[in-house]
């Protein structure tokens, strides 16, 4: 079963096998060392800076796919579902990476302390894989000792280490830093594309509004004009219709179908499915 893993909440709760360093009660840096072939889906609750230190990972978000190799990194915007397939290095068979949760508060604190002027973006810089400089690679490996005993890491020191990362990105990876600046300037996106690519994720209407570059009220208004219904009703109908199709066309269990379509509770899914179609999912 390919369940959707919430990042970084799953790391804090222990639902995902990774070592984590936590700041202010939430996961901020996660270390992943696995053998080849692991696959799954992340739902990003915070922006993710994904640094690969060994092996490679293929990432899929909507219609886009990227492959991140050793000593490369990629920045992914929050409130999206991202599929992943990890491959180990030929030498060790291991995949090694660090996942940095870049929340809006940390980014704001850094930009304010550095008095970085955010220029108007003449063009939107798309998500892209960027090479890591020797300095960034050395920084990532410098974190290894902290994962041996995360509980002994002083929160003040951890915040400084995160700020060090942002300094290194600003100095050594201009493309990634420009993308970080864009996180502070949401760009309006086609509503059709946003909802069609994300309705199967455990995503809230507020997060869909964020992805579309609109305020919540503007998103609801524009959505109503396009679909003549509310976002919540549209998402529920689309998920249930897709669930019925999957149950009739495959041998997936009811729980697997529910999880794959963003329902976090199979019992709740079964109840609303029966309300909609008059029979239970297991009878499809």
Domain ranges of the chain: 4-183, 191-283
CA angle 214, 218, 224 (to 5 degrees): 120
Angle between helices 191-198 and 231-249 (to 10 degrees): 40
Structure confidence at residue 62 (pLDDT): 79
**265 touches 239 (CB < 8 A):** no
Q: Which residues pair with 64 in a beta bridge?
A: 61
As its CATH architecture, domain 4-183 has Sandwich (2.60)
Domain 191-283 CATH class label: mainly alpha
Can you give the pTM of this predicted structure? 0.77
Structure confidence at residue 18 (pLDDT): 65
Q: What phi and psi, each to the nearest 5 degrees, are found at residue 75?
A: -110, 125
Walk along the chain (284 residues) and give the pLDDT tens digit of each residue: 456 788 888 766 555 556 888 887 667 888 888 876 788 888 888 899 999 999 999 999 878 999 999 999 999 988 888 999 999 998 889 999 999 999 888 888 888 887 776 655 556 678 899 999 999 999 999 999 998 888 788 888 988 999 999 999 999 998 899 888 888 766 677 898 889 888 888 888 988 888 888 889 999 999 999 999 999 999 999 999 999 999 998 888 999 899 888 887 889 999 999 999 999 998 87
CA angle 43, 130, 108 (to 5 degrees): 60
DSSP state, residue 3: P
What token pair was written down for 202? 């455990």
Structure confidence at residue 123 (pLDDT): 63
What token pair was written down for 123? 């063009």
Structure confidence at residue 222 (pLDDT): 93
Q: In this structure, how many other beta carbons lie within 10 angstroms of the beta carbon of residue 228?
A: 8
- 145 to each of 11, 34, 42, 92, 283, how far by Cα in Å? 19, 18, 26, 20, 53
Q: Where are the alpha helices (DSSP H) in the chain?
A: 9-13, 104-113, 134-142, 155-172, 174-183, 191-198, 205-212, 216-227, 231-249, 254-260, 266-277
Structure confidence at residue 169 (pLDDT): 94
């Amino acid at each position: 079963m390919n369940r959707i893993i919430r990042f970084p909440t799953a790391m804090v709760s222990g639902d995902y096998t990774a070592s984590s360093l936590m700041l202010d009660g939430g996961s901020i840096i996660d270390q992943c060392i696995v053998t080849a072939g692991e696959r799954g889906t992340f739902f990003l609750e915070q922006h993710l800076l994904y640094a690969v230190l060994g092996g490679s990972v293929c990432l899929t978000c909507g219609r886009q796919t990227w492959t991140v190799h050793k000593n490369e990194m990629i920045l992914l915007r929050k409130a999206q579902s991202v599929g992943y397939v990890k491959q180990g290095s030929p030498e060790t068979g291991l995949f090694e990476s660090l996942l940095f949760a870049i929340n809006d508060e940390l980014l704001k604190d850094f930009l304010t302390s550095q008095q970085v002027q955010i220029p108007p973006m003449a063009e939107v810089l798309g998500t892209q894989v960027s090479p890591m400089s020797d300095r960034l690679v050395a920084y990532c490996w410098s974190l290894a000792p902290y994962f041996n005993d995360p509980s002994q890491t002083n929160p003040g020191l951890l915040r400084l280490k995160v700020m060090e990362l942002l300094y290194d990105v600003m100095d050594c990876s201009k493309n990634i830093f420009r993308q970080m600046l864009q996180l502070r300037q949401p760009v309006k996106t086609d509503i059709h594309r946003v909802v069609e690519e994300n309705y199967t994720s455990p995503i809230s209407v507020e997060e869909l509004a964020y992805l579309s570059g609109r305020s919540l009220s503007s998103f609801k208004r524009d959505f109503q004009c396009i679909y003549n219904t509310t976002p919540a009703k549209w998402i529920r109908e689309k998920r249930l219709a897709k669930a019925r199709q999957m149950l009739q066309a495959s041998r997936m269990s009811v729980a697997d179908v529910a999880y794959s379509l963003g329902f976090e509770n199979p019992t709740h899914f079964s109840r609303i499915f029966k309300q909609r179609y008059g029979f239970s999912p297991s009878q499809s």
